[in-house]
Amino acid sequence: MKKILSLSVSLLLLAGLAFAGGSKDSGAKGTAADEGLVNGRFATTRNITVEVYDRSNDGGSKPEDNFYTDFIKAGMLRDHNVNVTFKPVPRWTEVEAMNNLLAANDAPDICVTYSYPTIQTYANMGGVTNLTPYLKQYKSQLPNLWKLLGDRNIFWDQNPQTGELWAIEAILFQNNRTSVFVREDWLKKLNMKEPTNLKEFEAMLQAFKDNAKVLLGADADKMIPFSIGVDVGWRADILTTSFVKDNISDAETWINGFDDRRMMWPGFKEGIRALNKWYNKGLVWKDFPLYPIGDKTEDNLIKAGYVGAFIHNWDYPYRDADNGVAANLKKLVGPDAAFIAVDTFPNNAGKYRKYLSAPVDRKVFFPGTNKEPVASLLYLEFLSTLENRKFLQIGEEGVTHETLADGSVKTIKATGPKIMNSPSNIDYTIVINGLDLGDSALNTKSLALSYAGVDKRYIEKSWNIQHHDDRVTVMFNLGEIKAEEGMGPALQEKRNNLLTQAIVAKADQFDAVYDAGYKDYLASGGQAIIDERRAKYEASQKK
């Protein structure tokens, strides 16, 4: 059924492209003068549409129509004479939504995704604009884009054989991934130290379960020692990678790295085995398989104070001010209730290894239906301008932030129309993920103050843990991997199903469930990707 659906979508796209005249081989047409550009401003108004993530935040604003979209719209008209319309796309199903929009020739002029294989798939069908000729011809009009991203991020995905470029990589300004969080107040109440290894962590979870009445009183039956979601690969990342041998080569991390959840890395399975063990001991939230990515049930359980530990984005408990975990714990449980990051899973070399990605983030691309590629590049230029992105990241003085005597910026809890739907408004600053005030010292000081209502020691601790024994994975750009085409969503679904089923399996059935699911994953395209990546890497070494 998936193959039939995929074929149908592909045929629909091709038919639409034939009608729309889209072509992946189209080059830059005209010159700056032909475009009517004077000092970066068009003589006649241009119109573009821009994708924006819809996170369905409680208490949030409409992602396509709010104070910050108004700022962008006004600035683009003033500086470039470009009219901007925002088009919301659900954050947690963005790949599926983007597939549908591209297939229907209804995608925004500027699209954003974390899935490069999705872009490559449509590029191969002629559905994505080759950015290389536009970037070369209009580089002089894009000084701030180049200053922020440089050749590295701008040409990160350029095919070394053909020179084609389907996407620009945003910069990951603060390179962090996930942390392990535990209830600091529960540790104090049980007179326990922070766990420093797997055995101590499991003992802590068991202590939470055994002391449910002490910790939760009348709500003891709601105790969840450890919580996780169906995106197991992301949510268990620090645990699973602790089972990867420390001497794994850069080549092996890339060859087996199509899936950024690292399921194909050797040793990963043993991390899932640990979760299976905990699940069968009643230490893991038993209902986690019932709730899809983006569902708020787990968040609500964490905010209500029923969860003792979890793994998530390095700053997850401290986000979202009054709507976040930290604020709700204090409100619903008490002033001392808090999650603190711990460094707890050493690998075979005794290192608390954190495998961080290269400094790239979301991929920005223009569909073949984009009739205004130059105006679209000027949109990225507008966002790259320090003054503009700084305002989007910190908002108004006295409303969403205050400037301290040393120049550092402290975030203020925002309400009403000026509330931000994402941390530092990353859904609008699509060229950068991470606070940048234009000064590295101020960035460091301000980052710890950028979580309204949260003691900065929590932020500093999680940040320091991220960079304790960290290792940045290496990207080998060896051209298109044909086997990856169209495989992202299908393999992602298989991965999530496999890992979920393996965790909830009976202990004596774990190997059978995991091995069968992994065999199916490889047979469904995973092995072909590994083989092609390995062949291309080995060929590059011979050269």
pLDDT at 489: 86
Spatial distance between the Cα atoms of 452 and 488, rounded to a whole number of angstroms: 36
Cβ atoms of residues 402 and 445 within 8 Å: no
- How far is the CA of 167 from the CAs of 161, 465, 501, in angstroms? 16, 32, 35
Q: Quickly list H helices, 348-439.
A: 373-384, 386-394
pLDDT at 414: 83
Q: Are residues 34 and 157 in the same domain?
A: yes
The length of the chain is 543
- Which regions in the chain score pLDDT beneath 70? 1-34
pLDDT at 344: 98
pLDDT at 30: 53
Q: Are residues 166 and 183 in the same domain?
A: no
Q: What confidence tens digit (pLDDT) does each residue in 254-289 have? A: 999 998 899 999 999 999 999 999 999 999 999 999
Q: Are residues 311 and 217 in the same domain?
A: yes
Spatial distance between the Cα atoms of 430 and 236, rounded to a whole number of angstroms: 27
Q: Are residues 141 and 229 in the same domain?
A: no
Q: Are residues 40 and 92 in the same domain?
A: yes
pLDDT at 19: 34
Spatial distance between the Cα atoms of 80 and 73, rounded to a whole number of angstroms: 10
Record the pTM: 0.85
Spatial distance between the Cα atoms of 435 and 424, rounded to a whole number of angstroms: 7
Tokens linked to 492: 């992602």
334-360 burial: b if 16+ Cβ within 10 Å, else e: eeebbbbbbbbbbbeeeebbbbbeebb
Task: Give the phi and the psi of residue 432 in degrees, each rounded to 5.
Answer: -150, 140
Domain with residue 336: its CATH number is: 3.40.190.10
Q: Are residues 144 and 273 in the same domain?
A: no
Q: Are residues 233 and 341 in the same domain?
A: yes
Q: Are residues 39 and 166 in the same domain?
A: yes
Q: Are residues 96 and 141 in the same domain?
A: yes
Only one residue has tokens 């559905």, namely 127
Cβ atoms of residues 80 and 375 within 8 Å: yes
Query: What range does the domain containing 310 cover?
Result: 178-356+474-542
pLDDT at 387: 97
Q: Are residues 91 and 161 in the same domain?
A: yes
pLDDT at 28: 66
Tokens linked to 327: 């604020």
* Residue 23: CB atoms within 10 Å: 13
Q: Are residues 55 and 110 in the same domain?
A: yes
* Residue 213: CB atoms within 10 Å: 12
